């Protein structure tokens, strides 16, 4: 007499923040809220920015696939910005708050010289 066990496979959930355990983790000295100086930087249309998601701010957070990408600011919508980013062969628009991106190294050099 054989005993048969039925194997039930659970489905993999595909939520908005799946696979972000190490992507959105902060280092020990960076934990907590980010400094206000990053929010006081003036951005103009056409500036290059690097998208770096701040996990302590949930509002206006872009999708994880855009973390680490470089884009150009297209327009400003209220307190948010619209950033044009290349995703494989397409140009996509990311609407995000200023806490989730920082100036590109080219813009940083311009800010230091002014």
Q: In this predicted model, what pLDDT tens digit does every residue of 37-65 receive, in sequence order?
A: 888 999 999 999 999 999 999 999 999 99
The pLDDT score that the predictor gives to residue 107 is 66
Q: Do the domain assignments include residue 68?
A: yes
Residue 49: inside a domain, yes or no?
yes
pLDDT at residue 14 greater than cutoff 90: no
Q: What is the pTM of this model?
A: 0.80
- Give the dihedral sign, CA 94/76/32/59: negative
pLDDT band at 16 (very low <50, low <70, confident <90, very high): confident
Tokens of 24: 């959105």
On whether residue 38 sits in a domain, the answer given is: yes
E strand map for 1-114: 48-51, 70-77, 80-87, 90-96, 101-103
Overall number of domains in the chain: 1
| The pLDDT of residue 67 is above 70 | yes
For the chain, the distance separating the N- and C-terminal CA atoms, rounded to the nearest angstrom, is 84
Q: Which residue has the higher pLDDT, 8 or 82?
A: 82
Position 25 in a domain? no
Structure tokens of 98? Answer: 């200023």
Place of tokens 């000295």: 29
Q: Are 74 and 36 in contact (CB under 8 A)?
A: no
In a domain, 16, yes or no: no
Q: What's the rounded mean pLDDT across residues 13-32?
A: 89
Give the CATH number of the domain where residue 59 resides.
2.30.30.70
Q: What integer pLDDT is reported at residue 12 of this predicted model?
A: 83
Whole-angstrom Cα distance, residue 47 to residue 111? 12
Q: Which domain holds residue 64?
A: 34-113
Q: How confident is the model at residue 108 (pLDDT cuts 50, 70, 90)?
A: low
């Amino acid at each position: 007499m054989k005993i048969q066990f039925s194997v039930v496979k659970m489905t993999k959930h595909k939520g908005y923040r799946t696979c972000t355990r190490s992507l959105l983790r902060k280092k020990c000295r960076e934990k907590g809220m980010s400094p206000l100086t990053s929010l006081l930087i003036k951005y103009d249309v056409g500036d290059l920015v690097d998208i770096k998601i701040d996990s302590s701010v949930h509002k206006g957070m872009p999708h994880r696939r855009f973390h680490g990408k470089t884009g150009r600011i297209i327009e400003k919508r209220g307190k948010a910005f619209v950033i044009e980013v290349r995703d494989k062969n397409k140009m996509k628009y990311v609407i995000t708050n200023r806490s989730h991106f920082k100036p590109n190294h080219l813009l940083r050099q311009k800010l230091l010289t002014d």
